[in-house]
Structure 1
Amino acid sequence: MIQVKKCIAFSLFILLSGFCIAQTENSIHEELQNLKKYNENLNQRMDQLQKMADDLIWFERVGDVAHIDKLYIYGPPKRKEKNETALGAGNPVKFWTYVFVPKNIDVNRKYPLIVLPHGGVHGDFTTYYTHIVRELISQEYIVVAAEYRGSTGYGKSHYEKIDYGGLENEDVYASRNYMIENYGFVDEKRVGIMGWSHGGMIALFNLFNHPKDYKVGFAGVPVSDLVARMGYQTEDYRELYSADYHIGKTAHDNLAEYRRRSPVWNTHKFQNTPLLIHTNTNDDDVNVLEVEHLIKSLKADGKKFEYEIFKDIPGGHSFDRMDTKTAKEIRVKIYQFLAKQLNPNRPINSIKELQKAGYRF
C-alpha cells in the first residue's frame, strides 16, 4: 500500500512538474514576444527622432542656396487592406515629400524639374544626398523627393505600407504631378527623373509606366531583377518581401508577382525616353548581373538607351555618389546627359563647376 502511494505521489510530482515547466515556457515565450514588440516600437520611434534631426540638418547644409519645404500629399490607396470594409479602407496613402527650390529663381519664368526617389528597402531621403541636391540646385533645377510608402522615419503604419516595385512608383509619380499642379514656375515639358539602387528601379518604372511625362531618366545601380535578387541575397533580406504586410509570399511561392515587380521583365513597356544606366562590377548590394540582365533585356526588345559598366570603381554600390574625384567626374557625365534634354540655365560641364556648386569651394 505504501509503495502504491509512493508511485501515485511520484506520478503527481511528474505531472505537476511538467505543468509548471509548460507554464514557465509559455510565460517566457509571451515575455519574449512582448519584448520583441516593444523593441520594434522603440526602433520606429528612434527612426522618427533621427528623421526629425536630419530634417534640421537639411536647412544647415542646403538652406543657403535653396528654399526647402516638406509637403504632405497622397498617392493611390494601399494594395491590400487588413479589413476592406473598415472605416477609411480604400483611402489614398498619405506621405511627405521634400521640395528644393533655388533661391535665385524668377517665379515668372519656367524651370526644369528633377524627380529624385531615394533608395533602400525601407530607406528615406536623408542628407546623404546633400551634395547632389546642391549640384542640382546650382543648375537651377527644382527638386522633389518623395518619402513614398514604406519609407523609414514615419512610424510603423507607413513602414508597413511598403509596396516594393508596386504602388510606390505611383507615389513618386504623384510627387511629380503635385509640383506641376502647384508651382507655376515648373516646366511640365522639362521633367527628368534620376535615382540610385531602389531609387533607380523606381526611375525605370516611372519611365516604363508614364513615358510621355518624363523627358529623360538616369538609373544608377538599379535593382532590376527581384527573382535573381532573392537568389543571391540573405534570408533576412528575403523576409522583408515575404512579410505578411508586404508581398506575403516568397519568390518560390509566387514567381509571377516578383517578375511583375522587376524592371527586366517589363522592358517591353519602355518607349525610348532618353535613358542612361550605370553599374559597377564590384557592387556588393545590387550585383552587376542584375543590371547586365536589364541591359540585355532592353536590347532584346530593340530599345534605344545609353549605359556604362564601370570596372571595380572604389565605393562599390555608392561609387558615383561619394565625394571622391572619380565620383564627381562621373556625376558631371550624368548632369551633361540630363542637360541635353532638360536645358537648365546653368549646366555643370566640368568638375571645377561641380566642386563649387556642391562644396562651395
Structure 2
Amino acid sequence: MSANLTRKTVLALALSVVGLAAQAQQATEADRLKALESQVEALKWDLDEARKIAEDTQLFLRLQDVAVADKVILAGKPNPKAKERYGIKNERHPIRIYCYTFLPKNAPKGKALPAIVLTHGGVHGDFGTYYLHLVREMLERGYAVVAPEYRGSTGYGKGMYESIDYGGLENDDVVSCRDWAVDELPIDGKRVAAVGWSHGGMISLMAGFDHPDKFAAIYAGVPVSDLITRLGYHEQSYTAEFAAKYHIGKAPVDAVDEYRRRSPIWNVSKLKIPLMVTSTTNDRDVNVVEVEQLIIHLKAAGKTFESHIEKDAPGGHSWDRIDTSFARKARLRMYDFLDKSLGNAKR
C-alpha cells in the first residue's frame, strides 16, 4: 500500500469519525430538546392542577358562611379512546370525575331540598370562583347546588383534558353526578333542575332532553345549540380542536350526522319538561343565530317553553352571569322560572 493511499484512507476514516461525532452530538441535542419539551409540557399540567387547588381553597373559604361544601370523586363511563393497560379491557377502567356539592347552611334538617345541577361552560373549562356569586344566590333561595366537573375539564391533568367528548359522554357525567347527589344528599329527586350557560347550557339541554325522568326543568343561557352552525362562523383553529384525534376526530364536513347528534336543535323532539332559553343579540361567543335556530326548532316541534333575547345587553356573552345590578335583575327571571317549575316556596 502506498503512502499516498494510506494518507487518503486515514483522512477518510478521520472524516467519517468527525461526521459520526457530529451526528451523535446532533442526536444528543435533539434528545435533550425532546426531554426539555416533555418537562415543559408536564410542568404546564402541574401548574394547572396547582391553580385548581388554589381556586378550590378560595371557593370554599368564600362560601363557608352560607354553605356546607364538599368535593367528591365519582366514576364515570370509560373513555373509549383511552389505551388499554395490563391486558385489561378498556371497559374495566371507568374515568374519574369530580363533583362539587353545596348545601344551604341554614337548611332545615330532615327536609329534602330542591337542587340545581350547575354545569360549567367552556370547551375545556372548569367550575371555579367565576360561579361563586351564582352559588351564593342559589343557596340563599333554598337550593342545593351540584356542580359536575365532567370529562375534558381543566385542572386535573392531561388525561382528563384529552378525555373530552363534546356533547357526548360529558352529558352522562353530569347525569351521574345528579344521581349520586340524589342518593347521598338530602335532595328531592323530583325537584332537580339542569342549569348552565354557553357550553354548560348545551349540556343542560341535552341532559334534560335525554332524562326527563331525572330533571324537572332546564334553564339554558346563551346555549351552544348547533355545532355545525357554530363551527361555520368560528375561526379555523376552533374547528381544529374538534377534529383532534382525542376529540370528535373529524371535521363537520366529514361527520355531519355525528355533529347533529351532539347538537340540541336536532334533539328538541325529546323535550318533555319546562324549559327557559335566553340570549343577547351582542353575544360574540355563541352567536344569537344559534339560539334563534333553537327557538325555531322548538316551535316547529310544537313544544311549550319560555325564551328571552335581550337587545345588546351589557356584558355580551356573560350578560346575565356577571355581578352587576343589570345581571342580578335579569337573573330574577331565571329564579322565577325555577321556583315555579320546582315548586320552591322560598323566594
What is the TM-score of this pair, normalised by structure 2?
A: 0.89
Once the two structures are superposed, the pairs formed by residues 261-272 of structure 1 within 5 Å of their partners are 261-271=262-272
Note the residue ranges of structure 1 that are not aligned, 5 or more in a row: 1-14, 348-361
Alpha-carbon separation, structure 2, partners of 1:258 and 1:35? 38
The Cα shift of 1:157 comes to: 1.0
Alpha-carbon separation, structure 1, partners of 2:45 and 2:108? 41
The Cα shift of 1:280 comes to: 1.0
The letter for the 1-side match of 2:54 is A
Alpha-carbon separation, structure 1, partners of 2:33 and 2:233? 31
Structure 2 equivalent of residue 303 of structure 1: 303
| CA 1:17–1:121: 2 relative to 1, 3 Å | farther
Q: What is the aligned-residue identity percentage?
A: 47
The letter for the 2-side match of 1:158 is M
Structure 1 equivalent of residue 175 of structure 2: 173
Structure 2 equivalent of residue 292 of structure 1: 292
1:282-322 residue CA offsets vs partner (Å, 9 max, x unmatched): 11111111111111111111111111111111111100011
Structure 1 equivalent of residue 254 of structure 2: 253
Q: Return the match for 2:164 from 162, 165, 176.
A: 162
Equivalent pairs, count: 341
The Cα shift of 1:59 comes to: 2.1
1:120-174 residue CA offsets vs partner (Å, 9 max, x unmatched): 1110000101110000000111110011111000111111111110001010001
1:282 aligns with 2:258: no
Structure 2 equivalent of residue 11 of structure 1: none
1:78 aligns with 2:60: no
Q: Secondary structure at the match of 2:138?
A: helix
Alpha-carbon separation, structure 2, partners of 1:257 and 1:228? 14
Q: Secondary structure at the match of 2:90?
A: coil
| CA 1:180–1:248: 2 relative to 1, 3 Å | same
Once the two structures are superposed, the pairs formed by residues 113-128 of structure 1 within 5 Å of their partners are 113-128=115-130
2:80–2:90 contact (8 Å) kept in structure 1: no
Alpha-carbon separation, structure 2, partners of 1:132 and 1:264? 27
The Cα shift of 1:181 comes to: 0.9
The letter for the 1-side match of 2:213 is K
Structure 2 equivalent of residue 203 of structure 1: 204
1:62 aligns with 2:77: no
The letter for the 2-side match of 1:235 is Q
The letter for the 2-side match of 1:148 is Y
Q: Secondary structure at the match of 2:119?
A: coil
The Cα shift of 1:27 comes to: 7.5
1:213-252 residue CA offsets vs partner (Å, 9 max, x unmatched): 1111100001111111111212222222111111111112
Alpha-carbon separation, structure 1, partners of 2:33 and 2:230? 32
Alpha-carbon separation, structure 2, partners of 1:99 and 1:345? 22
1:139–1:345 contact (8 Å) kept in structure 2: no
The Cα shift of 1:53 comes to: 0.4
Of stretches 290-299 and 141-150 in structure 1, the one that deviates more from structure 2 is: 290-299
1:183-226 residue CA offsets vs partner (Å, 9 max, x unmatched): 2x211111111100011001000111001211111000011111
The Cα shift of 1:270 comes to: 1.6
Alpha-carbon separation, structure 1, partners of 2:22 and 2:297? 59
1:133 aligns with 2:135: yes
Note the residue ranges of structure 2 that are not aligned, 5 or more in a row: 1-15
Alpha-carbon separation, structure 1, partners of 2:18 and 2:316? 57
The letter for the 1-side match of 2:234 is Q
The letter for the 2-side match of 1:64 is D
What is the root-mean-square deviation in Å for CA atoms of aligned residues? 2.8
Structure 1 equivalent of residue 96 of structure 2: 94
1:121–1:164 contact (8 Å) kept in structure 2: yes
The letter for the 2-side match of 1:102 is P
The Cα shift of 1:86 comes to: 3.8
